[in-house]
Amino acid sequence: MPAASPVILILGAGANVGQHVAKSFASKGYKVALTARRAKEAENTADQVNIQSDLTDPTSVINVFSKVKTLLGAPPSVVVYNAGAVTPNDPKNPLSLPLTDFTRDFNINTTSAFVAAQQAVLAFEQLPESASKTFIYTGNITNEIPLAPLLDLGVGKSATAHIIQSAAAAYKDKGFKFYYGDERTADGAAVYRDIDGEAHGKFYLELAEGKVQGPWQQTFVKGVGYKKFPRA
């Protein structure tokens, strides 16, 4: 019997990075699960399912993983956490940010990502040795450089970078890979709003196809791939 198709779960499947990552993995035979607050579950097919999820509620992530296994017949071997949130703050008074905004955005940027990583480990433990077993978090430069009006985004990315670094070291002997993806310009600067979804799709597939854990912080450049830069 032919091997079952592998499954990728993309949490936060927006029109740019999320959709391009889905397209890249689908071209390699993956079944795809996409989550978003406005996901259209009526459009589900045998190979691609849409799951409604509000990542301000970290407990909702557990239900997402359960639905993926039910709908696609297997737990995900690749999990991409692509959700992010920010409430711009007064750069001269960053601590004026309301607690409700800070907490909501931290749930999306970090707490739900933590739960997703927990659930990914449980999923990976159910899979055969040959499976990819890769978790990728879409980050940015704010874990290294504070951007004055983006306090809560930087806090969330920094906290999750720590989670990814810890998991990459702890689980590498099990063959589980954890990565913090961070697109940069050729000189190492932030891409800001010029995020290239297609480049993410190609690069994330390369990370998933890798056999062993590479550097946890995957700074990469469009058309080049991984490139190590001095820490900012």
Q: What is the pLDDT of residues 186-200, one digit of tens each?
A: 999 999 999 999 999
Annotated catalytic residue 23: no
Q: 3-class DSSP state for residue 114?
A: helix
Concatenated DSSP letters for 72-88? HSS--SEEEE-------
CB atoms inside a 10 Å sphere around CB 79 = 31
Q: How confident is the model at residue 111, as a pLDDT?
A: 98
Q: What is the pLDDT of residues 136-193, one digit of tens each?
A: 999 999 999 999 999 999 999 999 999 999 999 999 999 999 999 999 999 999 999 9
Q: Is residue 1 pLDDT above 50, yes or no?
A: no
Q: How confident is the model at residue 98, as a pLDDT?
A: 98
Query: What CA–CA distance (Å, rounded) separates 80 from 115?
Result: 13
Q: Which of the residues 31, 67, 157, 177 is marked catalytic? A: 157
Q: What is the CATH number of the domain that holds 93?
A: 3.40.50.720
163 assigned to some structural domain: yes
198 assigned to some structural domain: yes
Q: Is the pTM of this model over 0.95?
A: yes
Contact residues for 99 (Cβ-Cβ < 8 A; gap 6+): none
232 assigned to some structural domain: no
231 assigned to some structural domain: no
User: How many separate domains does the chain show?
Assistant: 1
2 assigned to some structural domain: no
155 assigned to some structural domain: yes
Query: What CA–CA distance (Å, rounded) separates 59 from 142?
Result: 26
1 assigned to some structural domain: no
CB atoms inside a 10 Å sphere around CB 104 = 16
Residue 204's domain comprises 7-226
